[in-house]
Structure 1
Amino acid sequence: MTTIEFKNLTFGFDTQASYLFDQTRLVLQSEWQLGLVGRNGRGKTTLLRLLMGDYHYKGKIEHQLDFIYFPQKVTDKTKLTYDVLQDLSHFELWKIEKEITLLNMNLDSLWRPFESLSGGEQTKILLALLFVDDQHYPLIDEPTNHLDATSRQQVARYLHDKQQGFIVVSHDQLFIDQVVDHVLAIEKSQLVLYQSDFSTYLEQKQQRDQFESAQNEKLKKEITRLKQTAVQKAEWSRGRERDKLGSPNQPGSGAIFDTGAIGARSARMMKRSQTMMKRMRQQANEKAQLLKDVEYVKSLHMNVKPSHRQKILTVEHLQLSYNNQPLFDPISFEIQKGQRLAIQGSNGSGKSSIIQYLFDAFHGEATGITSRLQGLAVSYLSQDYDNNQGTLREFADQHALNYSDFLNNLWQLGVERQVFQNRIEDMSMGQRKRVALAQSLVTPAELFIWDEPLNYLDIFNQQQLEAVIQKIQPTMLIIEHDRHFLKNVATKTLTLSLNNGK
């Protein structure tokens, strides 16, 4: 039996005011199928990178394992997919073909440029390479990003049946429940280990949060009472001091026992009020420590541009193809003001290609007719935000964003204030995704086009998006694999298919 042991692990980035991990002590068994969960920015990817030896830290991490990290970094996406994989690892062709087939992909994807694959296809190709390797301990970071529902089930079954342990990071509750037997939660102030699935962890955490919140309400009432009493007593003692000194119209008697008695009572009451105030502050601080792990879902701001126009976008008999090979059967749809169209389909079916076509960025063949409003204000949330760089101020100026609204959305999405000082390219993927999301939310628009908005977002962020969309009722075109999310926000659905197969 092999262990991964953290001994007094201490680590934080230079740009952060506090440590991500401070004197952390933890022992993990290598045969566990471990789910690593927690809100964005809490250090999940950082913990995996520490295991990989990518950062310097204080303390010790002891193990006898060779780790492999997913997703592997692709440096040249213009290469053929086969060459990209050869750059990352050595493998026998039949083995990678077997894994690609198990992941429900065509073998010809190996001989296409990597950049021509959809986000989901790229994910599955890199997973296939991970699955070929049986000599390393897998550290799997967000494997469900870009994957359709069928592919998520395929990956879940593979991991569930795997005969070795691994650590997997994911915000997909159903996926985590299917593949793990232990959960390690990174909360605001501690690491909590559970021998259970994600649903059990969430249930226990919700019960703990409810108890702490109830205790908080009780203490708030007590603090209010103490504060009022302290103020009253302080005012009484000041009044007695004025009585002792007298006033120009009614001077004090001057009797020694009067001033002495009043002064003594005044001093006692002042001391008692100060004691009460000190007690109040102490209890408030204790409660702040008690509530440090309670999570709250905060409201977001969405900048919908007022419009009197009803018909926003019309598409008739659209079909997109590469090299005369159609991606899907001809489609027609219309989006009117206040409607939210969800486009669904398997990985590689052409969902993102439709968005590229609408922005005149599709490089294949297209047939059909599209009618859109002149001067239509569009806010676009892309899958790819690697080019977002610079400080938050520079980014906001570059995109003409209201800086205050932009930062407020970031804060509400759970980005800590100290992260505001970081450059975007130095942030975690979850933080960078929330920068892109905050940008889209505050961009004034008549139509919001979101391509897989939930990638890298935690369950609290998903609830926030559902709440703001249900409240504001914006006009949207959404590509997303999460059926629960679409059920709560979409008003109509279009599913792509190709009758002659792909």
Structure 2
Amino acid sequence: MSKIEMKNLTFGFDTMASLLFDQANLVIDTQWKLGLIGRNGRGKTTLLQLMLGKYSYSGTISHQLKFTYFPQEISDKTQLTYDCLQEVSAFALWEMERELNLLQADPEILWRPFASLSGGEQTKALLALLFVDDQYFPLIDEPTNHLDITARQQVADYLKAKRSGFIVVSHDRSFVNEIVDHILSIEKSQLVLYQGNFATYEEQKEKRDRYEQEQNQKLKKEIGRLQQSAAEKAEWSRSREKDKKGKPTQKGSGAIYDTGAIGARAARTMKRSKAIVNRMEEKADEKKGLLYDIEDVESLTMNYQPSYHKQLLKVEALQLSYTEQPLFPPASFEIKQGQRLAIQGPNGSGKSSIIQFLLGEFNGKVSGKATFAHDLSISYVRQNYEDNTGTLQEFAQAHHLSYEELLTNLHKLGVERKVFANRIEQMSLGQRKRVELAKSLATPAELFIWDEPLNYLDVFNHEQLEAVIQSVQPTMLVVEHEATFLQNIATKIVYL
């Protein structure tokens, strides 16, 4: 039974910034199917890169393994897929065909240029390469990107059937829940290991957080009591100091002040007062450590403007095509006030094309029609948002948004304030996605149209979006592959 053991692991990209890992200790059994989760920027991919030896670090990572990493880098995507994969790692053709069949991918994709494959086909080809040689231990980073619901289930079934262990990073809760038997959570101050799937992690994490919150409340009460007691003792001591000068003893006929006895009592009381203050400070320091690993998932705001129209959109016998072959059979649906319609279907079935048509951006052939309510205001989250540029203030002005509301939602979504000074085109993909999403949330609208809003977002962001949608109850049209999200927010579903 092989192990991966980390001792006193310490790492940070910038010595002036906080460390991603500080004296972390962990033992992983390589037979586990381990899900690695945590907020964006917490160090999930970095931990995999440390295991691969890509960065220098303090401490030790001990193992007797050869790691392989997904997604592998393809140098020349114009080559045949077979040649691209052979350059990464040599394999026997029959072994690769076996893995592709297990992934329900046509082995014929090996004889097409890698660049011509769909995102899902590329993902399956690289996953097949990952498992074609069982001498390697797989580190799998976000395998569900570019996969539709059907393909995600196919990959989940494939990974579940593997006898060997692996580590997988994914923000798709349903996917992780199906395939893993252990969860490693990168929390604010530590690495925490949970036995079980994602549902088990959520349950145990909730219990830990609730316990810490209860302890925190008790500690606050204790500190309040100690503060009051310390203040009372200090005040008594000060009053006794005054008594040294003003209170005579009744001894004989003269007025003699027993300042020595009063001073001794005052000193003893002051000493007790200081001891209480010290205890209070110790309790306060102890309190600082509590709640540190509770994730601050703040409530988002959504500028929903309910329409006075009962029906906002009606689509009748709609078909779209780029060639003679339509993308889907005739589709009809309607969206009424307060409904949230999800459009589902395989990649390439025309989901995003419907959105493009509704927004007047579809360039192919159209039959059927769509009718909008008069003067309908729409807020849109796009799949492609590379044209978002400039400073955040310039961006807010260009889109007639409240700058404060934009920044508030960005921060709540996990974008650090120091990033606010950056130009959008200099931000990471995850940060740029949050800008696109924060723009939509701040845009006053009667209808929200979101095209794959969860790409590049972490699990906590998923839950934030679910919470604001469930609270505000906006009218929406959504295209998304994350099953848990749709289950929690959609009121009706159209399948293509």
TM-score above 0.5: yes
1:442 match = 442
Task: Give the match's secondary structure for 1:325.
Answer: coil
Amino acid corresponding to residue 324 of structure 2 in structure 1 = N
1:180 match = 180
Deviations 1:83-139 (A, max 9, x none): 995697477777666655544456787788978876555544543454556564322
Q: How does 1:55-204 map to 2 (within 5 A)?
A: 55-63=55-63, 65-72=65-72, 82=81, 85=84, 89=88, 99-100=99-100, 102-104=102-104, 120=120, 123-132=123-132, 136-204=136-204
Amino acid corresponding to residue 348 of structure 1 in structure 2 = G
Task: State whether residues 13 and 19 of structure 1, in contact with CA within 8 Å, keep that contact through their aligned partners in structure 2.
Answer: yes
Bigger mean CA offset, 318-327 vs 305-314: 305-314
Deviation at 1:300, TM superposition (A): 1.3
2:46 match = 46
Amino acid corresponding to residue 300 of structure 1 in structure 2 = L
Q: How does 1:376-391 map to 2 (within 5 A)?
A: 376-385=376-385
CA distance in 1, matches of 2:94, 2:309: 56
1:18 match = 18
Deviation at 1:140, TM superposition (A): 0.9
Deviations 1:467-489 (A, max 9, x none): 21121111211112334432332
1:211 match = 211
Cα 1:405–1:175 shift into 2, 3 Å: same
Task: State whether residues 340 and 490 of structure 1, in contact with CA within 8 Å, keep that contact through their aligned partners in structure 2.
Answer: yes
Deviations 1:445-470 (A, max 9, x none): 22211222334444433332222112
Deviation at 1:22, TM superposition (A): 1.7
2:314 match = 314
Bigger mean CA offset, 308-317 vs 381-390: 381-390
1:222 match = 222
Task: State whether residues 15 and 419 of structure 1, in contact with CA within 8 Å, keep that contact through their aligned partners in structure 2.
Answer: no
Task: Give the match's secondary structure for 1:227.
Answer: helix
Bigger mean CA offset, 427-436 vs 472-481: 427-436
Task: State whether residues 34 and 183 of structure 1, in contact with CA within 8 Å, keep that contact through their aligned partners in structure 2.
Answer: yes
Task: State whether residues 9 and 61 of structure 2, in contact with CA within 8 Å, keep that contact through their aligned partners in structure 1.
Answer: yes
Task: Give the match's secondary structure for 2:486.
Answer: helix
CA distance in 2, matches of 1:25, 1:54: 19
Amino acid corresponding to residue 352 of structure 1 in structure 2 = S
Amino acid corresponding to residue 281 of structure 2 in structure 1 = R
Q: How does 1:352-367 map to 2 (within 5 A)?
A: 352-367=352-367
Task: State whether residues 173 and 484 of structure 2, in contact with CA within 8 Å, keep that contact through their aligned partners in structure 1.
Answer: no
Task: State whether residues 41 and 415 of structure 1, in contact with CA within 8 Å, keep that contact through their aligned partners in structure 2.
Answer: no
Task: State whether residues 340 and 476 of structure 1, in contact with CA within 8 Å, keep that contact through their aligned partners in structure 2.
Answer: yes
Amino acid corresponding to residue 355 of structure 1 in structure 2 = I
Task: State whether residues 449 and 476 of structure 1, in contact with CA within 8 Å, keep that contact through their aligned partners in structure 2.
Answer: yes
Amino acid corresponding to residue 359 of structure 2 in structure 1 = F
Task: State whether residues 74 and 84 of structure 1, in contact with CA within 8 Å, keep that contact through their aligned partners in structure 2.
Answer: no
CA distance in 1, matches of 2:45, 2:390: 21
Cα 1:167–1:488 shift into 2, 3 Å: closer
Task: Give the match's secondary structure for 2:257.
Answer: helix
2:491 match = 491
Task: State whether residues 433 and 456 of structure 2, in contact with CA within 8 Å, keep that contact through their aligned partners in structure 1.
Answer: yes
Question: In the alignment, does 2:353 pair up with 1:342?
Answer: no
Deviations 1:235-294 (A, max 9, x none): 555666778889xxxxxxxx8838877777666656555543443232122122133223
Cα 1:166–1:276 shift into 2, 3 Å: same
Amino acid corresponding to residue 141 of structure 1 in structure 2 = D
Amino acid corresponding to residue 228 of structure 2 in structure 1 = Q
1:252 match = none
Task: Give the match's secondary structure for 2:295.
Answer: coil
Deviations 1:378-398 (A, max 9, x none): 322233456666765565566
Deviations 1:189-209 (A, max 9, x none): 111234543333333333322
Cα 1:108–1:237 shift into 2, 3 Å: same
Task: State whether residues 120 and 348 of structure 1, in contact with CA within 8 Å, keep that contact through their aligned partners in structure 2.
Answer: no
Amino acid corresponding to residue 340 of structure 2 in structure 1 = R
CA distance in 2, matches of 1:126, 1:205: 33
CA distance in 2, matches of 1:331, 1:34: 41
Amino acid corresponding to residue 57 of structure 1 in structure 2 = Y
Task: State whether residues 10 and 24 of structure 2, in contact with CA within 8 Å, keep that contact through their aligned partners in structure 1.
Answer: yes
CA distance in 2, matches of 1:146, 1:277: 59
Please list every run of 5 or more consecutive structure 2 residues that lacks an aligned counterpart in the other structure: 247-254
Cα 1:412–1:400 shift into 2, 3 Å: same
CA distance in 2, matches of 1:15, 1:361: 48
Number of positions where the alignment pairs a residue of Structure 1 with one of Structure 2: 487
Deviation at 1:321, TM superposition (A): 1.9
Deviation at 1:438, TM superposition (A): 2.8
Deviation at 1:43, TM superposition (A): 0.9
Bigger mean CA offset, 280-289 vs 172-181: 172-181
Larger Rg: 2
1:251 match = none
Amino acid corresponding to residue 285 of structure 1 in structure 2 = D
CA distance in 2, matches of 1:357, 1:81: 34
Bigger mean CA offset, 379-388 vs 17-26: 379-388
Cα 1:367–1:243 shift into 2, 3 Å: farther
Task: State whether residues 76 and 84 of structure 2, in contact with CA within 8 Å, keep that contact through their aligned partners in structure 1.
Answer: no
Bigger mean CA offset, 278-287 vs 430-439: 430-439
Task: State whether residues 141 and 168 of structure 2, in contact with CA within 8 Å, keep that contact through their aligned partners in structure 1.
Answer: yes
Task: State whether residues 84 and 114 of structure 2, in contact with CA within 8 Å, keep that contact through their aligned partners in structure 1.
Answer: no
Bigger mean CA offset, 328-337 vs 104-113: 104-113
CA distance in 2, matches of 1:144, 1:350: 19
Amino acid corresponding to residue 13 of structure 2 in structure 1 = F
CA distance in 2, matches of 1:350, 1:226: 66
Deviation at 1:51, TM superposition (A): 2.9
Amino acid corresponding to residue 46 of structure 1 in structure 2 = T
Amino acid corresponding to residue 55 of structure 1 in structure 2 = Y
Task: State whether residues 85 and 129 of structure 1, in contact with CA within 8 Å, keep that contact through their aligned partners in structure 2.
Answer: no
CA distance in 2, matches of 1:359, 1:112: 34
Q: RMSD of the TM alignment (CA)?
A: 4.0
Task: State whether residues 183 and 198 of structure 1, in contact with CA within 8 Å, keep that contact through their aligned partners in structure 2.
Answer: yes
Cα 1:245–1:323 shift into 2, 3 Å: farther
2:302 match = 302
Please list every run of 5 or more consecutive structure 1 residues that lacks an aligned counterpart in the other structure: 247-254, 497-502
